[in-house]
Each structure stands twice: as structure tokens, then as C-alpha cells.
């Protein structure tokens, strides 16, 4: 290897190494999480504007409005909880404030309780 090709090879390797952190970050985002999400979940505040708009509660039993308690996609009201919802990211499930929780795709991937519910509940596809 002559000096010129050595320098070219060194520059190519250095350039490729510079992109590694970007590639790692992109992969992390693609998985819908990141180091913060993996380290611990933080339950969404039911007073959060998005949560409120969807009538979200950490506990299914706290939904007392009878007009919301309807069958959806053939699933009885009593069987509708976040853990059985299409938008609950089960693969990222963990603990948050002592509750089993996971990110909700409809709530910007903020964590919701497995026992929770909101008016956008949808049967798993
Ligand atoms: S969309 Fe599904 S997982 Fe998300 S808060 Fe509503 S019921 Fe829970």
C-alpha cells in the first residue's frame, strides 16, 4: 500500500466512523423508544391534554360515564383495557409508578397503565 492509498483508506474509515452514532440513534428511533424509554417508563398524566381528549384513566373501573361503556369490535366493555388494545406497545412493557405500563402509540408513545382505558380503545389487529 502506497502512501496515497493509505491516506485515502484512513479518510474513508474515519468518515464511516463519524456516521456510526447517527446510525445508532436512527435505529433507536425506529424501534420507537430510546435509552430513556428503556431505562424507565413515566405514566402519562390523565390531565395531559391528549389523555383528557380521549377520556383516559389509569384504571378502567374509574370510567364512570355510562355513555362511554359500550361494546367495541365485539369486545365487551368489561374486557377493554389498555393491555388488550391495539395501540399498547406490549414489547416495551415495564413498571411505572408501581403499575404495569407500556407506551401508547396514540398518546405519542407516553406510558399508559395496562389496566387503563381510553375512548380510542381498539381490538388488537
Ligand atoms: S389507545 Fe389503547 S392503549 Fe392507548 S390509552 Fe387508549 S385504550 Fe389505552
Ligand 1 lined by 63 (C-beta under 6 Å): no
Cell of 9: 483508506
Which of 39, 60, 51, 31 has its CA nearest to residue 110? 51
List pLDDT tens digits, range 7-19: 565 555 554 444 4
Looking at the fold, whether 10 and 62 belong to one and the same domain comes out as no
Q: What are the φ/ψ torsions at residue 123 (nearest 5 degrees)?
A: -60, 140
Looking at the fold, whether 12 and 46 belong to one and the same domain comes out as no
Convert 7-44 to b/e letters by CB count within 10 Å (16 or more is b): eeeeeeeeeeeeeeeeeeeeeeeeeebeeebeeebebb
Looking at the fold, whether 49 and 110 belong to one and the same domain comes out as yes
CB atoms within 10 A of CB 78: 10
Looking at the fold, whether 89 and 56 belong to one and the same domain comes out as yes
- This prediction has a pTM of 0.71
List pLDDT tens digits, range 54-72: 999 999 999 999 999 999 9
Residue 16 is predicted with a pLDDT of 44
Looking at the fold, whether 45 and 77 belong to one and the same domain comes out as yes
Nearest CA to ligand 1 atom 6: 118
Q: What range defines the domain where residue 80 resides?
A: 40-125
Looking at the fold, whether 100 and 54 belong to one and the same domain comes out as yes
Looking at the fold, whether 26 and 44 belong to one and the same domain comes out as no
Residue ranges of the chain with per-residue pLDDT less than 50: 15-38
Residue 51 is predicted with a pLDDT of 98
Ligand 1 lined by 51 (C-beta under 6 Å): no
Amino acid at each position: 500500500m502506497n502512501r496515497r492509498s493509505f491516506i485515502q483508506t484512513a479518510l474513508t474509515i474515519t468518515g464511516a466512523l463519524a456516521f456510526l452514532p447517527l446510525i445508532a440513534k436512527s435505529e433507536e428511533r425506529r424501534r420507537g423508544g430510546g435509552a430513556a424509554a428503556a431505562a424507565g417508563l413515566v405514566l402519562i398524566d390523565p390531565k395531559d391534554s391528549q389523555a383528557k381528549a380521549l377520556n383516559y384513566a389509569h384504571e378502567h373501573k374509574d370510567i364512570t360515564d355510562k355513555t362511554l361503556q359500550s361494546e367495541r369490535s365485539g369486545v365487551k366493555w368489561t374486557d377493554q383495557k389498555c393491555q388488550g388494545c391495539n395501540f399498547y406497545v406490549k414489547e416495551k412493557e415495564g413498571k411505572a409508578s408501581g403499575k404495569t405500563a407500556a407506551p401508547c402509540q396514540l398518546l405519542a408513545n407516553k406510558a399508559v397503565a395496562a389496566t387503563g382505558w381510553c375512548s380510542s380503545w381498539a381490538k388488537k389487529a
